[in-house]
Structure 1
Amino acid sequence: MIRFLILFGFAYLFLHLHLTGDISKYINMRYGYLSFLMIFIIGFMAVYQLVKWNKEGSKQHHTSEKALFGHDHSHENNTWWKKTITYVLVIFPILTGLFLPVATLDSNIVRAKGFHFAEIDNDKDQYANHQILKPDTSQYYESSTYKKMLRQDMEKYSQLNQLDLNDDNYLRALEAIYNYPGNFNNKHISIMGFVYHGDALQKNQLFLFRFGIIHCIADAGVFGLMVQFPHDVTYKDDTWIRAQGTLSETYYSPFKQTIPVLKLDTWHQVEKPKSPYAYRKY
């Protein structure tokens, strides 16, 4: 019976995440069908456990319950607490998932782990490098396939008179911009993101970021652009801003290289979107 309740709990948890839309805070919804499939599989396993429990009869069930709570002296005396710990560890994520609010990543994560270009990071572990300014999906493709895709994106987005970085193109367009900055010079671009004050910035400069998800929250990185205002500003970290301007380049000393900068014409503060993450589109 306990196994049925645990399996039912997990199935209900994932169904709850889908119904509320919170599942998108954990995975790229391109793979949403996999979590739906998992709901049916876990649900089937739960029904199987319930049927099995009913068939075993009350006598065998009573025996198993005695063993769980240490009354069956045919087993080791410490069996009950081992099983109890196991069940607690399994049930804990169900309870936290259902009753605790879903937290989203913010500037505190950026500050704790830092952000950087992958090229200047000494750690070559692709699974450890999450907090990067420049999107880099080269590790997910063969070299020739990646270069072809990147060039196609560059041609697609650089031909636009006005490039709006939105939910549909945020990561792919940014990756093209950082790899072909010259093709986007003087391009009119709009972007929405949260404020982050990086190192060595002037008082009229800051970064606008969004956390991007390739597959799931485990590979999330922080991506965006440096923006430059016509005058000094005092926006606090995690303030969401929608801005528009002309793309240029500037030398950023912490990275020891030139990076794109958006020189703003217009901007205004906005509410944090319901879905704050950007997802890789294929």
Structure 2
Amino acid sequence: MIRFYILFGFAFMFMLIHWQGKLNKYINTKYSYLSISAIVILLLLSLIEVVRMYRLEQAEKNRALAAEHQHEHEGEHHEHSHEHNHEHEHVHDHTQVHEHNHEHNHGHSHGSSSKWKRAIGYLVLSFPIFTGIFLPVQTLDSSFVKAKGFSFPSMNSSISDRNPGQHQFLKPDSSVFYGEEGYEAVKNKELSEFRNLREISLDDQKYMKGMEVIYNFPGEFMGRTISFDGFAYKGEQVDGEHYFVFRFGFIHCAADSGVFGMLVDFPKGTQLHDDDWVHVTGVLTSELYQPFKQTIPVLKVSSWTAIPAPKDPYVYRVN
């Protein structure tokens, strides 16, 4: 029955996440069909487990009835042959009891070990169900950046050197999901979508793709007007009125999530705190950022406004 509780528990957890509208905290909602498929499969397996348990219970009842019937029949036979076989049965039963006790004790030690292993396995499987249902989902903020730090991948690093299962920083990088040749075609196709735009507004739908295009082809966009929303992060190595402006984003799921954005040069005297949300508009320039030992795109702000944190602070790679 424990198997049923675990299977149904996972299905219930996924259904609860959907019902509460929290799926976007775990995966790119573009792939929500995967979790729906998982719910259907888990419910089907739960039903199969119920049927299996019912059949086992019925089989056990049938065996018990058969054993009771056989016991009554053997009892009648035993009354006729008890005196004749008493001495022989006594010796035989004594030997059987000795052998039974030996087998029972030997099997008991192995059985206890197996029970402990199963119990630990069930606890491990139950843990994500408990946390998924009862613990609140933590929205990522600048504390994540402080804890992890961030780095900018070298322009010359090869795709094979990148790990699709690690958090990304600053520049969205979907190259690991295409391969060398495939990614070249994707880059050129996406460049064509932005190349002729004099003013580029990176809204929630375009944010991830647009940032990746700008970082892949910074020379194409120098002097262009770019605007986007994000939260401010000063960091320890940024001086003056420079702040990073970030959005947390998912390419596929939380495993390849990251904090994406760019260094922004605000007007003199601007004072922001970490996690302050702003809408910035400015002209794309570039600077040598010494901590990365690279020249990176920098947005020189022409106007900016403070904004409230959006209902969904995350952005997603939609295509």
TM-score, normalization: structure 2?
Answer: 0.78
- Given the alignment of the two structures, is residue 212 of structure 1 paired with residue 249 of structure 2, yes or no? yes
1:260-282 per-position Cα deviation (integer Å, ceiling 9, x unaligned) = 11111222222222322221122
Q: 8 Å contact 2:164–2:177 — kept in the other structure?
A: no
- Given the alignment of the two structures, is residue 88 of structure 1 paired with residue 123 of structure 2, yes or no? yes
- Given the alignment of the two structures, is residue 162 of structure 1 paired with residue 199 of structure 2, yes or no? yes
Give the letter for the 2:127 counterpart.
F
RMSD: 2.4
Question: When the two structures are aligned, how many residues end up with a matched partner?
Answer: 272
Closer, same or farther: CA 236–60 of 1 in aligned 2, 3 Å: farther
- Counterpart secondary structure, 1:101: coil
1:260-275 equivalence runs, <5 A: 260-275=297-312
Closer, same or farther: CA 242–60 of 1 in aligned 2, 3 Å: farther
1:1-282 equivalence runs, <5 A: 1-57=1-57, 60=60, 74-75=107-108, 76-119=111-154, 124-127=161-164, 129-282=166-319
**Quick one: distance in 1 between partners of 2:307 and 2:146?**
22
- Counterpart secondary structure, 2:168: coil
- Identity of matched residues, %: 42
Q: CA deviation at 1:129?
A: 4.7
Give the letter for the 1:233 counterpart.
T
Q: Which moved more, 1:146-155 or 1:126-135?
A: 126-135
Q: 8 Å contact 2:164–2:256 — kept in the other structure?
A: yes
1:193-216 per-position Cα deviation (integer Å, ceiling 9, x unaligned) = 111113432221100111221111
**Quick one: distance in 2 between partners of 1:60 and 1:270?**
67
Closer, same or farther: CA 153–48 of 1 in aligned 2, 3 Å: same
Q: Which moved more, 1:87-96 or 1:266-275?
A: 266-275
Structure 1: any 5+ residue segments left out of the alignment?
62-71
Q: 8 Å contact 1:114–1:131 — kept in the other structure?
A: no
Q: CA deviation at 1:82?
A: 3.1
**Quick one: distance in 2 between partners of 1:124 and 1:182?**
25
Moved over 6 A (4+): 120-123
**Quick one: distance in 2 between partners of 1:152 and 1:198?**
34
If you compute each CA radius of gyration, which structure gives the higher value, 1 or 2? 2
Q: Specify which structure has the higher proportion of helix.
A: 2
TM-score, normalization: structure 1?
Answer: 0.87
